[in-house]
Amino acid sequence: MKRGAGQLINFRDNARRAIENPTLRRAMRHATESFRQKRSDAIVGIPFEEWREQASELRRTVIGDIKGYVDEFAVNATKRGAIVHRVKTAGDARDLIGAILKDNGAKNIVKSKSMVTEEIHLNKHLENLGLRVIETDLGEYIIQIAGETPSHIIVPAIHKSREQIGRLFCEKLSCDFSDDPTVLTNTARKILRQEFLTADAAISGANCYIADTGSIVLFTNEGNGRMVTTLPPLHIVVTSIEKALPSIENLPLLMRLLPRSATGQTLTSYLSIITGARMPGAATGAKQLHIVLLDNGRSEIAKGPYREILKCIKCGACMNVCPVYGMIGGHAYDSTYPGPMGVILSTLLNGIENAHPLLDATTLCGACTEACPVKVPLLKLLYELREMRVDKGYNQTVESLGMAGFGIAAKHAHIFQAGQTSARALWSLAGYLSPLTVNRLPKPTNRTFRRRFS
Amino acid sequence: MRVQLFATCLVDTFFPETGEAVVKLLRHYGVDIGYPKEQTCCGKPPNSAGYRKEARKAAEHFISVFDGTDPIVIPSGSCASMVKNHYPDLFKDDPKMFRKAEAVARRTFEFSQFLVHVLKAHESGFPNGRGKITYHASCQLTRELGVRTEPIELLNSINGAQFVPMKNADRCCGFGGVFMGKMPEISMALADDKVDSILETKTDIVTGCDHGCLMNIMDATKRRGAGFEVKHLAVVLAEAL
């Protein structure tokens, strides 16, 4: 199932395997249905459309001048004692983070959830350097001990059932089997508490960074983010350049939209605003705060026709409503970011030459676009990327021949009719060649509507 | 009143009786129907698959065939959305064609939209209905055209029939045009979910405004041995006249 660098994503086979996995199907159905319900309950009785419009405008402003906001943030964060690093590529980010940890003699590292560190495959790199890295978000912890990758950007272990997690804990953590979420959470909590207390460095992501105060902001539900960012003496924040908010005054808007869209909560359980390193005399906070702002192709995306994908605030609402994602889960996409936003972002970040099969992972139903809290025109981008695939020649030859034939028939009713007649004549053959498609359709009639109309 | 009817490929090729139901209904309201014989396909399949050039050919043909000022009625949400939303976009770099595309888009109505907004058919209602009916809200109809209430208003105006809403009515059935051919496993699994939603309603008929979806649902219905009928809204309404 794992794909080497530069290899084509085999989405169809991955999806087929997912469809044949009843445990996965049940887990996905249960989780996505519940998130959809909670989200629709959470947007009742509030001016959701008005907030969406405001957030969309705000994010559009940001992606129109990413460099400007990065500059402003860097000045303000530096003033407060943070060390800001701008990195171009995933490799640069890995090397830099590895070097910071090595220079400080860090051995035991606790992490709170960060999709950008997944994007740059950071954990593997750090483990290769001989460092011990522990994920502390419960979902991330589950998939870390399972040796897997997140299958959802907010709910990394969404694909696992309670029973599976119970068996996993039983096997890897040598505890008694239980599928009771409270028991399982307590097991993880006990182990992680010790990790927080002994860690000598922390790595976290950021839901956004604030240009005018130089702050980074974390929305979490388990409190692990707070432990990670306050206990160890060294804290490295890894985030991407497009996640700016111009001002701290914009934060309430994000606080209203993000939890509602992500999990259907009206408010996040923990909100951490971290501004600079620990000040002399202060009781908490990391003594050394590094903030790594990753580009990894985003500056280029921001200049191009698909730039609006960068408005995304990574809430996962598009995944929860996507019929395709809900059926197969995130691993079938074989990319850091799955679901509708993932199809678009992965195609742009990984290159269409590797990722183009993902463009078939949509029925173009538009549910994602309707759910997006910052009005990313996901449906429009999906249409446009399919056009890009054809323009660049990553479509199938037989399909493009068929479409060329279509182009001729569409212009001439008599050719079109001849096509209908031959489709009827060749129907059994077509069914033999393509049973899963043709045999699902009724046979073409010999008395078409155009013949019947009078 | 005079309209031009675009039957759509699926109605023309697979479901001519739906076209006949549309004709029967429109004539019932005194509408004079023109059926341009040169019509082919709206270009939705190439447009969805990313073949802009081929989609444009179909659009140019449609625009030249459906000239004049009469409203254009289409018994499909996805084909109507193709004309109303995608045609102008296909010609955004060609001012002359863009104007024509916009004019055609303005004249175009999805069938239930036309029945409710122009003919007010839901106000006079339908006298001879029967059984319990549920409704699948197809994607382009709902989210691209914003036609959400019209089919339900029509169903609720059928005397003798009972409309029963289904769970997740506007969730994709898995048809998705080229998707059903490229990702048949996901497509069939989604259609199975749709059949489950329909079965939960314990209705006799499922209806909708798009034969693409209805075809996919019919296949799943057969595969599952489910007992309900699958009919286009035009057929349901024409039978209740």
Let me know how long chain A is.
454
CB contact under 8 A, A409 and B16: no
- Read off the pLDDT of each residue in A137-154 and give the average, rounded to a whole number: 97
Judge if A163 and A232 occupy the same domain.
yes
Instruction: Check CB contact under 8 Å for B20 and A452.
Output: yes
Task: Give yes or no: residues A134 and A236 share one domain.
Answer: yes
Average the pLDDT over B153-181 and give the result: 96
Question: Which residues are CB-neighbours of A324 under 8 A, at least 6 positions away?
Answer: A361, A362, A363, B183, B186, B190
Let me know whether A407 and A383 are in one domain. no
Chain B contacts of A452, Cβ < 8 Å? 16, 19-20
Q: Are A391 and A406 in the same domain? A: no
Show contacts of B194-199: CB within 8 Å, 24+ apart. B194/B136, B194/B220, B195/B220, B195/B221, B195/B224, B195/B226, B197/B166, B197/B167, B197/B168, B197/B169, B197/B171, B198/B134, B198/B136, B198/B166, B198/B226, B198/B228, B199/B226, B199/B228
Reply yes or no on whether the pLDDT at B67 is more than 90: yes
Numbered ranges of CATH 3.40.50 in chain B:
123-239
**B49 at A interface, C-beta within 8 A:** yes
pLDDT > 60? residue A5: no
Q: Name the DSSP letter for residue A332.
A: G
Residue A4 confidence (pLDDT): 52
Q: What is the predicted pLDDT for the residue at A1?
A: 37
Which of B40, B140, B187 shows the shortest C-beta gap to A413? Answer: B40
- pLDDT tens digits along A63-101: 999 999 999 999 999 999 999 999 999 999 999 999 999
What percentage of chain A reaches a pLDDT higher than 70? 99
Q: Which of residues 178-197 of B touch A (CB under 8 A)?
A: 179-190, 193
Q: Which of A36, A333, A378, A450 to mutate to test the interface with B (most CBs of B within 10 A)?
A: A450
Average pLDDT over residues B222-234: 95
Do A243 and A114 lie in one domain? The reply is yes
Comparing CB atoms, the residue among B46, B177, B193 nearest residue A403 is: B46
- Among A378, A449, A451, most B C-beta atoms within 10 A, so best to mutate, is A449
**Contacts (Cβ under 8 Å, ≥6 apart) of B44:** B55, B78, B79, B82, B86, B177
Question: Residue A10: its chain B contacts at CB < 8 A?
Answer: none
Domain boundary among A271, A299, A327: A299
What pLDDT sits at residue A50? Answer: 98
- Establish if A210 belongs to a structural domain: yes
> pTM higher than 0.90, yes or no?
yes
* Distances, alpha carbon A379 to alpha carbons A150, A254, A309, A363, A370, in Å: 24, 23, 11, 10, 9
Kindly determine whether residue B174 and residue A410, on different chains, have CB atoms separated by under 8 Å: no
Q: For A15, which of B15, B50, B183 is closest by C-beta distance?
A: B183
Whether A434 sits inside 8 A of B181 (CB atoms) is yes
Q: Which residues of B touch A323 (CB under 8 A)?
A: 171-172, 174, 190
Taking an 8 Å cut-off on Cβ atoms, the answer to whether A390 and B11 are in contact is no
Alpha-helical regions (H) of A173-303 = 181-198, 224-230, 251-263, 298-303
Name the nearest CA neighbour of B102 among B110, B94, B111, B112: B94
In angstroms, the separation between the Cα of residue B236 and the nearest Cα of chain A is 18
| Within a domain: A57 | no
Q: What is the mean pLDDT of residues B185-197?
A: 97
**Is the CB of A366 less than 8 angstroms away from the CB of B16?**
no
Q: What is the pLDDT of residue A398?
A: 87
Strand partners, B74: B110
Q: Does B48 touch chain A (CB under 8 A)?
A: yes
Same domain, A177 and A285: yes
Residues in chain B: 241
Assigned domain for A310 exists: no
Q: Residue A2 — pLDDT band, cuts 50, 70, 90?
A: very low
Q: Which of B134, B138, B56 has the alpha carbon at shortest distance from B100?
A: B56
Segment A170-187 shows an average pLDDT of 95
pLDDT band at A454 (very low <50, low <70, confident <90, very high): confident
Burial class of residue A431 (count of CB atoms within 10 Å of its CB; 0-12, 13-18, 19+): middle
**Do residues B194 and B136 touch, judged by C-beta distance below 8 A?**
yes
A403 and B54 Cβ atoms separated by less than 8 Å: yes
Q: Quick one: DSSP state of residue A250?
A: G
> What is the structure's pLDDT at A283?
84
Could you give the CA distance from residue A52 to residue A311 in angstroms, rounded to a whole number? 12
The answer to the question of residue A52 being in a domain is: no
- With CB atoms and an 8 Å threshold, state whether A413 touches B39: yes
Per-residue model confidence (pLDDT) at position A136: 97
Answer yes or no: do A381 and A427 share one domain. no
Residues in chain A with CB shorter than 8 Å from the CB of B181 are 434, 436-437
Is a pLDDT exceeding 60 seen at residue A3? Answer: no
Interface contact flag, B182 A360, Cβ < 8 Å: yes
Chain B residues touching A324 at Cβ < 8 A: 183, 186, 190
Per-residue pLDDT of B102-153, as tens digits, reads 999 999 999 999 999 999 999 999 999 999 999 999 999 999 999 999 999 9
**Domain edge (last residue) among A349, A378, A395:** A395
Contact of B212 with chain A, judged by CB distance below 8 Å, is answered with no
Encoded tokens for A228: 């990670």
* Structural domain of A77: 67-299
pLDDT (0 to 100) of residue B226: 92
What whole-number distance in Å separates Cα of residue A128 and Cα of residue A126?
5
The CATH classification number of B123-239 equals 3.40.50
Q: What angle do CA A328, A332, A314 make, to 5 degrees?
A: 85
pLDDT of A433 strictly over 90: no
User: Tokens 């909100």 appear where?
Assistant: A271
Q: B98 and chain A: CB distance < 8 Å anywhere?
A: no
CATH number at residue A136: 3.40.50.10420
Residues A446 and A430 occupy one common structural domain: yes
- pLDDT tens for B12-29 read 999 999 999 999 999 999
Contact between B11 and A449 using a beta-carbon 8 Å cutoff: yes
* Domain final position from A273, A299, A325: A299
A137 neighbors A154 (Cβ within 8 angstroms) = no
In-domain check, residue A374: yes
Residue A327 in any domain: the answer is: yes
A406/B46 touch (CB, cutoff 8 Å), yes or no: yes
Same domain, yes or no: A268 and A372: no
Reported as a pLDDT band with limits 50, 70 and 90, residue A431 is confident
CB A410 within 8 A of CB B54: yes
Query: Domain total for chain A?
Result: 3
Residue A325 inside a domain? The answer is yes
Q: pLDDT above 70 covers what percent of chain B?
A: 100
